[in-house]
Amino acid sequence: MSGTTIAPWLREILRCPACRARLRDEGGGQGRPEELVCTSGECGLAYRVEDGIPVLLVDEARRP
Compare residues 29 and 58 and give the one whose CB is closer to Zn ion.
58
Q: Which residue from 19, 26, 28, 48 is in contact with Zn ion, where contact means CB under 5 A?
A: 19
Output the smallest distance, CB 52 to Zn ion, in A: 21
**Cα 62 from Cα 46, distance rounded (Å):** 5
Is residue 14 close enough to count as binding Zn ion by CB under 5 A?
no
By CB atoms closer than 10 A (0-12, 13-18, 19+), residue 32 is exposed
The answer to whether 45 and 16 have CB atoms below 8 angstroms apart is yes
Compare residues 8 and 41 and give the one whose CB is closer to Zn ion.
41
Q: Pick out residues in 45-64 that bind Zn ion (CB under 5 A).
A: none
